[in-house]
Amino acid sequence: MPLNIPETQHERIVVIGAGFAGLKLVRALRGTMYQVVLIDRNNFHQFQPLFYQVATAGLEPSAISFPLRKIFQQQNDLHIRLSEVINVNTDDKLVQTTLGDVHYDFLVIATGANTNFFGMKQIAESALPMKTVGEALNLRNTILKNYEAALTSDDPSEIESLLNTVIVGGGPTGVELAGALAEMRTYVLPKDYPELNFRKMKIYLVEASTKLLSSMSASSSDKATRFLEKLGVNILTGIQVTGYENDEVLLHNGEHLKAHTLIWAAGIRGELPKGIAEVNTGRGNRLLIDEYNQVKGLDSVFAIGDIALFESDLTPNGYPQVAQVAIQQASTLAGNLKRKLKSGSMKPFRYYNKGSMATIGRNKAVVDLPFLRFQGFFAWLVWMFVHLMSIVGVKNRMLIFINWLWNYMTYDQSLRLIMKPGKGSA
């Protein structure tokens, strides 16, 4: 069964995934002589850098999600289909989905990445990842339900476990989540749950390497560590998590951390469609690409964003799996596809690192720019401005700004809802 895509005289580009890379590419191809087909399992784009604020009740899910059809209104050369990709047949240039098949002249895989549990079954079954809006909401529900359960427990050990949180992964996601939870513990939770003693609540941030924010400068890493320590976060670096049993996180040094809530932000793995041969894939389940973002060994197949791996002497581990790489790759690929219409030669991709940043909480952030590094209040303002301007849609920007302003003025959020599927209120 076909996806009911009309046949035209124009060549067809099929794009799988509407993350940062896919969205930027389709936007950049607007008005070209290509027919573009965008396939995604969701009908919205998700702004992943702010998932942690959904998980900690700082933002509504709708504030960081934007409908794809709203973005591409009046773009007649684009066809959006909500479906799961079952298989990619590169021999016949066919993408097989749960709704049917679609032929392509050019295929762009921008499926991103999912959580990597490094083969630890116990962790995969028990830990809470945060790679989608749904997972962020599940994390929020779990945290709040644990506090509710603590109210009805008579066992001090169980109460301690229900209050405690262990976050694994000291990258930007783990650092920002730890800071947000620490501020909730200080300013919000004691007002919501006056019967609980949140001074006994422990927040652990566990990182396998020797420092937090390992991709950033030493000064930013040190400053972030001091910010978190001041907020009362217990930081464990050079420590690996080996398992999770009986509400205890097991560490490689033999120690145990008692916690009902285990949040996994320690690694990602490429979300690779079936049908791609292993010879075309590299470390982290990512597609091996050349300097033009074309998948090695596959004609007319490209990969951009987190799923793509470009190995070279300068980038033995590939480019960082961050939004700015995905966006720049999409821009370069769009230009190359436009040149193909004119029989022009493709230009190689060159990544320009515009910098990196992370926020640790109110008035606390770290920013690394190519020419400058700074921390503190001004870095926090820069972080807010950059993220606000990156959000799709003026309405979403206004909603987020109002939420941030209200939180800043009141030291409170109003979104601490436990959302459960099903009918009834009791």
Q: What DSSP state is assigned to residue 2?
A: B
195 labelled catalytic: no
User: Which residue is catalytic, options 11, 160, 176, 245?
Assistant: 176
In this structure, the number of other CB atoms found within 10 A of the CB of residue 152 comes to 7
Q: What are phi and psi of 200, to 5 degrees?
A: -90, -5
Indicate the SS3 state at residue 326: helix
Q: Is 26 helix (H, G, I), strand (E, B) or coil?
A: helix
* Nearest alpha-carbon partner for 297 in 326, 275, 277, 271: 277
Question: Whose CA is closest to 319, among 333, 332, 308, 327?
Answer: 308
Q: Which residues of 29-53 are buried (b: 16+ CB within 10 A; e: fewer)?
A: beebebbbbbbbeeebbbbbbbbbb
> What is the amino acid identity at position 212?
L
Q: Give the CA angle between residues 176, 60, 69 to the nearest 5°.
A: 110
Q: Where are the beta strands (DSSP E) in 259-414?
A: 261-264, 268-270, 281-282, 286-288, 301-303, 308-309, 356-361, 364-368, 373-375
Active-site residue numbers? 176
